[in-house]
Structure 1
Amino acid sequence: MHWRSTTARFAALVFLLQVAAAATLLLTLRAIVRGQVYDRALATEEVLRQDLLAIQSDTGTAALARAIELRGARPARAGAVVLLADAAGNRLAGNLSAWPPNILPDDGTIAVELYRRRHDAPEAMLVRATRLPGGARLLTGSVVEGERRTVRLLEAAMLVALSLAIAFAALAAWLAARMIVTRLDDTVATLRAVRGGDLSRRVADDRSGDAFALLADAVNATLDRLDSLVSELTIATDTLAHDLKSPLTRLRSALERAAAQVSEPAAQEAVDRALGEGERVLALVETALRITRAEAGIGRESFAPVDVANELEQLAEIYGPLAEDADRVIRVVAPEPLTLPLHRELIAQALGNLIDNALKYGAGTITLSLTVTSHAATVSVADEGTGIAPEHRAVALSRFGRVDEARGGNGAGLGLSLVAAVARLHGGSVTLDDAAPGLVVALELPLRS
């Protein structure tokens, strides 16, 4: 699955939304808990501050000092922070040893870490300084060390929860992407089978009514129409073959009888020329029909095991005398035997067309080669002529495509088109390449058991 595919982007979207939702939930929970913890501490500090200010207002600073000492001795006030100092900062009463630096009256509530008397470790606390009449200063606060530990434990738990959320988000994204791919696998497999020639294949109907079911219905309807058109094409091509080949055959017979009866040289030459053109038209019709039937997938029922290397040897023997007449050589390079299910007649005609093209338009040695990889077998025909320029190769493979300026000749432009159609009939492909020098035409055929 490519990272730029729609499935990958959908999986990434699911993952990001899951992580964002989990992170938002955890951060909101942290903010609520933290706010509740510290708001309670602030409320406790404010109650203590207002209580002490009321005592100072009613009885004075000396009485306030005594009240602070009494309050500090009570266990219920163990978490309170109180310090009463004179204008110079000297301690008068409270559970702090000295006025903390950098804390000024009316600065509001400040979070600090200070040592309380008879405590060996600093503690987190929220404190507030207030200026009293006469210059004295009052520091009130609440120890929040326990609350801070609680928040830290909560944050650690949140990190674990976020890690689990990321893992589950990745799993959800993978499952979502896999669900889409699984729902489309049957459709893709069906289309591949149809492309390979199995026009009876259809996508299974799951009756869910979702978008995938609608896609399956549309694909099946299209395949039904395609099957109908191919059936009509089969009937049309068979009818066309009968309607065209029969009069052409009768015309050839009439020309042969005329050739046997005429005695004048000029008439004999004209009849022979007409007979040749008739043969050419008949071959053209037969080739065009073969291409049409191959493109429609007709002929797969005739597939049979064929020894490809032996087939190349036989073709070399058949075309060997023609090559010798042209002072050319045909050689076969097939290092290992290979048997594939093929339409033997069409493969032989396709390779024969390539050899015939190499004899007509190429030069030097003609090489028939067979190479095998893990997934395909490649049969190629190469010559040492001028080749075909890269910009003309697509035209050469098209039906009735002629590249006279590149190769010369007076063909109908169906030879390479038939080769391409036969390759597609077998689920393969054709490529034209530079043989340095010359042209190499390669048929890649998939390996089948």
Structure 2
Amino acid sequence: MAKPLVLMRNARTRLVLLSMVLSTAMTVAVLALVYVTANRTIAGETRSVVTAELAGLADEYQRLGVIGLLTAIERRSQDASERDALYLLTDRGGAVLAGNLVRWPPGVTAGSGWIELDLIRTESGESVPVSAASIRLPGGEGLLVGRDASARRQFDRVLLRSVGLALLAALALSLLTGWLLTRLVFSRLKDISRTAGEIVSGDLGRRIPLRGTGDEFDRMAATLNEMLDRIEELVGHLRTTSNSIAHDLRSPLSRLRQRVETLTDPDRDPDERGADGARALAEVDHLLRVFSQLTEISRAEAGLGREEFEPVDLAALARNLGEFYEPLAAETGVTLTVEAEAAPLPGHPALLAQALSNLLDNALRYAPADSRVSLTVSETDTDIVLAVRDNGPGVPEEDLSRLAEPFVTLDPSRTGGNSGLGLALVAAIARMHGGCFEAENRAPGLEARLTLPRGA
């Protein structure tokens, strides 16, 4: 008893049984309709013929009387082509006057309507099934006209046998179809399950195999693979961030500890202690900025803040930032130009402003004196592109793909409070809006682009 219960818990078994039941039920319904329709058609044709013959014989009686009717019945009874036709004419007392039946059916009243019964043929003496109708003639005679139903009953048996065979064939076909269907479905599910198991075991590079059919399973597998790519990317960022935090914050924390130790030394010169206190506060501010930026990156990667999306005029935002950064650029002899023309798109105003600010900070940091930095906002049929370009030395080609990684900076000393998180935050904000961040050497200078889809 336990084994059938285990089988019924199997989804494949249930799917096969369900397919078999549904296919069988549909087949039964169709075959039943065929059977009923065929029987009704044959019965209707028989009734029409019998009714027409009754009417014709009644006309013979009206025109020629009993003698003419007897002649007509005898002629029809002997006609080889009417071998399945049955006729019976009796007098008022029930005695047989003509026909090919032995006697009037007992218990049947002339004119009582359509009847189905077994009667005996005169010529053979055998009992035959009869479908017949009768009328009472004006002179009291009874007239019965019918058809031998043997062929019809034989047809019923053949039809029922055919229905049964068709039902068995449909049952076998539905079983085969269900098995093939479940084999297809569960083979694809097995691929997904196996891949998921390997990923759980730690192999984040595994992907669900595509079979090149382009069907729903392939499309689902492609979507899941995109999700796994994103998860692997996030896990990679998490590992990189964790390692970078351990490496990059060790130095400022060590320096901070040294500053605090000097502050507690009573023999230190008050002026030196004051300077150490200022440096300790600077280290604390730097650590707070790092943790703040890490928090912003995490929130952007998680998509937090999407509920605050609203139409953002990026052109106006760029012009406002240009006015804000223009004095800072002028202090180093850098000319900042802004060209912005684009329709509003849905986005997070504060985060988009932060992303543009980070791009401008980065460009102004590395732009040489008496050079030019440009901020442009343009649009295509599908995207809006925010680009910041400087005339600096650019970036080694091998480092371009690493610019958006956390704690990556071209300044080995990390002076000026640069923690290498600015462009990582820009890339996270771009992904939050469904876009991307790219950087490209322009010889001279570097162009950093934030591409956002119009439907972000």
TM-score, normalised by the number of residues in structure 1: 0.50
TM-score, normalised by the number of residues in structure 2: 0.49
